Amino acid sequence: MVCQPFITMTSINKKEIEKFSKLATEWWDPEGKFKPLHKFNPIRIKYIKENIIHNFKLKNKAKPLMGIKILDIGCGGGLLSEPMSRMGAKVTGIDASDKNIKTAKLHSKKEKLKIDYFCSSPEKLKVKEKFDVILNMEIVEHVQDIDFFLKSCAKLLKKNGLMFVATINKTFKSYIFAIVGAEYILRWLPIGTHEWEKFVKPDDLKKILMKYDLSLNKLDGMNFNIVKDEWSISKDLSVNYISKFIKS
């Protein structure tokens, strides 16, 4: 009898981690490789903030997210973790790239923000208490196994907690706009940032999360206006979209 080797499940895609690790020093440069994300960030922050306030009926105007425990998965250099912390949330940021985490720690220290950063993936994160909110922003299209990744995330979320997922739809339009346009023509992103095969249709995302007791509560498109040079929330889901799920 031949013993089968023990296989450890992981959501980490090593090729993707190496790709973003090389850019780690540029996270906080608004004119650098992450310039599109800096333009993208205000609309993401507004969407997350408003939905958290609405769901948890928060009323602190000075610190609108006070008392909320947030896990920012694939936090990179902390572009979302820091504004969440400034609004009063208790933030934990995780990323599978050690270089990203070092950048995030250094920047938050400089900004005098108390954020817990760990080099980890969701399946490896050990916590005493689960989180009120999980942020999966522009990460699901970069993981090794989306089903296993989301299953691991769901385990870290409290009952009635919120999970936000922002990603790119798998359509012909998304291939033209997010890859050909953004990477090859406009050069907003380094070539190879995205793989169309890893893009996720909203229905597929919904089906996966339903298995782990998360139901879709809100689904919106995010569109870029090239004339105004800004992002906005819309009904067009054909390229970028953002969703809110609630754990039952």
Tokens representing 156?
Answer: 């870290």
Mean pLDDT of the chain: 92
Nearest to 247 by CA among 222, 225, 215, 220: 215
CB-based contacts of 199: which residues, under 8 Å, 6+ apart? 141, 167, 168, 169, 170, 171, 174, 178
Res 227: pLDDT: 87
Tell me the mean pLDDT in the region 193-210. Answer: 93
Query: Of residues 178 and 27, which shows the higher confidence score?
Result: 27
Res 186: pLDDT: 67
Class of domain 27-170+201-247: alpha beta
Query: Of residues 20 and 141, which shows the higher confidence score?
Result: 141
Lowest-confidence region among 35-49, 59-73, 146-160, 189-203: 189-203
Tell me the mean pLDDT in the region 194-212. Answer: 94
CB-based contact 163:245 (threshold 8 Å): yes
According to DSSP, the residues that pair with 222 across neighbouring strands are: 233, 240
pLDDT tens digits for range 96-143? 999 999 999 999 999 999 999 999 999 999 999 999 999 999 999 999
Lowest-confidence region among 7-21, 70-84, 191-205, 220-234: 7-21
pLDDT band at 194 (very low <50, low <70, confident <90, very high): confident
- Whether pLDDT at 6 is above 70: no
Render the chain in DSSP notation, one character per residue: -PPPPP-------HHHHHHHHTTGGGTT-TTSTTHHHHHHHHHHHHHHHHHHHHHHT---SSSTTTT-EEEEET-TTTTTHHHHHHTT-EEEEEES-HHHHHHHHHHHHHTT---EEEE--GGG---SS-EEEEEEES-GGGSS-HHHHHHHHHHTEEEEEEEEEEEE--SHHHIIIIIIIIIIIS-SS-TTS--GGG---HHHHHHHHHTTTEEEEEEEEEEEETTTTEEEEES--SSEEEEEEEE-
pLDDT tens digits for range 221-243? 999 888 888 999 999 999 999 99
For the chain, the domains span 27-170+201-247
